[in-house]
Amino acid sequence: MFRKTYFNFEKIPAHLRLSEEKVKRIVKRKIKELRKYFKRSGFKKAVIGVSGGVDSTLSATLIVKVLGPKNVYFLRIPCLGVSSKEGLVLAERLAKNLKLEKGI
């Protein structure tokens, strides 16, 4: 799987570092919160903007975990002719990895 490092984890100050277990707990809590939100609001599907960057990658991954790939539409934020080719490739690769079939 393609992985690009955006920052050096070793440069993160010790007081800001999280253990793997702490990260797992945070992710589980966020998924639970998102499930409650979707249930409370009555939404069964979502549209999410995907740029291929860290923020949209995390957001898309969490929403797919909550709703399943068949209920998530992705909007590719990078635009051909405006964004870098790499951004377009990363957004497409993310959609493929998350098994998102419905794109806008």
List the CATH number of the domain containing 86.
3.40.50.620
Average pLDDT over residues 99-103: 73
Confidence label for 1 from pLDDT (cuts 50, 70 and 90): very low
Closest residue by Cα to residue 62 from 30, 93, 99: 30
Number of domains the chain contains: 1
Average pLDDT over residues 15-42: 92
Instruction: Tell me if 36 is assigned to some domain.
Output: yes
Report the predicted TM-score, pTM, of the whole model to 2 decimal places: 0.75
- 3-state DSSP call for residue 31? helix
The domain in which residue 23 lies consists of: 17-103
Instruction: Tell me if 6 is assigned to some domain.
Output: no
Instruction: Tell me if 23 is assigned to some domain.
Output: yes
pLDDT at 74: 85
Closest residue by Cα to residue 49 from 23, 18, 73: 73
Instruction: Tell me if 56 is assigned to some domain.
Output: yes
Q: Where are the alpha helices (DSSP H) in the chain?
A: 20-41, 54-67, 85-97
Average pLDDT over residues 10-27: 85
Instruction: Tell me if 7 is assigned to some domain.
Output: no
Distances (CA, A) of 59 to 11, 50, 69, 74, 96: 25, 9, 13, 11, 15
Burial of residue 93 (number of CB atoms within 10 Å: 0-12, 13-18, 19+): middle
Instruction: Tell me if 58 is assigned to some domain.
Output: yes
